[in-house]
Amino acid sequence: MDWSDIRIFLAIARAGTLGAAARSLGLTQPTMGRRLRALEESLGHVLFQRTSDGFVLTDDGNTVLARAERMEQEALGLQRELAGQEHDLEGTLRVSCSDWFGLHILSPILADFSRSHPRVVVELLTDARFLSLSRREADLAFRIRRFSEPDVISRRLMHIGYNLYTRSGTPWPAPGDGTGHRLVTMDEAFADMPDVEWLMRTFPKAAIAMRSNNRDVQAALCAGGVGLAVLPRPLGDATTGIERVDLPVSPPGRDTWLGYHRDLRRLPRLRALLDMVIARLAPVEPGSRDPSVNFGP
């Protein structure tokens, strides 16, 4: 067996299709299929049942999966341990966060970091998915919920306020159930988010005009007059053409957490970026910063 073929097997088992697995590894679909056939031939067993909906593990495939995941854990652990012993401020750092957070909160910090450490290449991965720190899909992650992965060092970084916004110059919604108003909100996969639930509860009779899982898109739609939108204040306040709607009860804010795998805690380039992020987002004297952002310990 070739370890790289085991990686391909794991990618197909997780993605369910050759195409999705190929994209996750940066390979072509024909290459994935060829390498999978080579692995099955070397083992003498069929690992997947090919169906119209994708690839389904056979009994033999499930047996291989359990051991392949343990092999992967050992290989990744070795990579993390060696990476954690590096002493130079050069190399790559993969940073994961949501789209709007990357643009409005992290980008200015990363620009300064790049000027200070030009030999460190930061890959900023803006994705709604929570990328795995243990599998080194990311080295540093910013999330809106606590980390539950084992061996991850995490801390609450900041609390971000949210607000209702409307197109500048348009009448604010009158107190009531939202009749006659239109809303821009998250897609249904994120319907359980606190700000979405607040919006539906506050304006139960309002019509849904558009949905998007991208906060910047929501802000642009709001500025275009499509409808009311709940947005993080650092994004909403920075968007031209919209203004806050002050209501007796504001939407709930969200805590932001940062986390990284404990094996990378001594990695100099990671420590340097953490120091800059925390220094930039450190507590300040009351009243000297927009109250929409309150910083945790």
Average pLDDT over residues 28-34: 88
Same domain, 132 and 271: yes
Q: Flag whether 214 is in a domain.
A: yes
Same domain, 7 and 35: yes
Question: Which pLDDT value is given to residue 160?
Answer: 93
pLDDT digit string, tens, across residues 206-255: 999 999 999 999 999 999 999 999 999 999 999 999 999 988 899 999 99
Same domain, 39 and 169: no
Question: Which pLDDT value is given to residue 173?
Answer: 78
pLDDT digit string, tens, across residues 126-154: 987 788 888 888 999 999 989 988 889 99
State the average pLDDT for the chain: 87
The full DSSP string for 189-218 is: GGTTSHHHHHHHHH-TTSEEEEE-S-HHHH
274: tokens are 């953490």
Please give the tally of structural domains in the chain: 3
Same domain, 220 and 284: no
Same domain, 170 and 241: yes
Question: Which pLDDT value is given to residue 135?
Answer: 80
Q: Flag whether 250 is in a domain.
A: no
Same domain, 151 and 269: yes
Q: Flag whether 297 is in a domain.
A: no
Q: Does residue 77 register a pLDDT over 90?
A: no
Same domain, 67 and 207: no
Whether 184 contacts 209, CB under 8 Å: yes
Whether 90 contacts 66, CB under 8 Å: no
The domain in which residue 231 lies consists of 162-245
Q: Flag whether 79 is in a domain.
A: no
Q: Flag whether 130 is in a domain.
A: yes
Q: Flag whether 98 is in a domain.
A: yes
Same domain, 166 and 240: yes
Question: Which pLDDT value is given to residue 87?
Answer: 56
Same domain, 144 and 262: yes
**Local confidence band at 108 (pLDDT 50, 70, 90 cut-offs):** very high
Query: Parallel, antiparallel, or unpaired: how do β-strands 293-295 and 152-160 relate?
Result: antiparallel
Residues 6 or more apart whose Cβ sits within 8 Å of residue 61: 13, 45, 46, 47, 48
Q: Flag whether 21 is in a domain.
A: yes
Q: What is the CATH number of the domain that holds 206?
A: 3.40.190.10
Q: What is the CATH number of the domain that holds 33?
A: 1.10.10.10
pLDDT digit string, tens, across residues 38-59: 899 888 899 999 888 889 999 9
Same domain, 124 and 265: yes
Same domain, 50 and 189: no
Q: Given 46, 74, 102, which residue is the final one in a domain?
A: 74
Q: Flag whether 86 is in a domain.
A: no
Same domain, 146 and 284: yes
Query: How far apart (Å, rounded) are the C-alpha atoms in residues 54 and 226?
Result: 39
Average pLDDT over residues 179-195: 91
Q: Does residue 287 register a pLDDT over 50?
A: no
pLDDT digit string, tens, across residues 151-167: 899 999 999 999 999 99
Question: Which pLDDT value is given to residue 131?
Answer: 85
Question: Which pLDDT value is given to residue 81?
Answer: 67
